[in-house]
Amino acid sequence: MSYLTPAALTAVRDRREGGLTLGAFALGLVAVLATALVPAIPPGSGLVLGGALAGLTARSLVRALQLGLYFGGLVLVCWGAALVLFGVLAPVAAATPLSLLAVALGFGLPTLAAVAVRGLV
């Protein structure tokens, strides 16, 4: 750890990540849902916030990268389940450039946010 890292954050990172990471994922999913429902908030900010929370709990940059990818995958699985639930998975998947953009942003935004937060703090 860097000497610039606050002591409280060092204590959090030294513990086992299981419960803390699960809490960060749950809070991140709530942020994604809130940003999807409130029109005044930019759409990708929930993904960035969730990735930042996951990166805050990571012990290293590699672990932050993994947690960002895991969080992005979790959000995409939830989004796919919602599309199946509403019966619109086939039309959304048929719009190939847009669906590929959604997958790229779903994995990219949380991963970049997690690595950036872990690298800075």
**pLDDT single digits (tens) 82-92:** 999 999 999 99
- Provide the pLDDT for residue 104: 96
Query: Model confidence at 38, in pLDDT bands (50, 70, 90)?
Result: confident
pLDDT at 16 over 70: no
pTM for the full predicted model: 0.82
Contact 20, 57 (CB under 8 A): yes
pLDDT for 15 equals: 67
Report residue 105 as tokens: 């942003």
Determine contact, residues 118/56, Cβ cutoff 8 Å.
Answer: yes
Nearest to 105 by CA among 54, 43, 61, 62: 43
**pLDDT of 41 higher than 90:** no
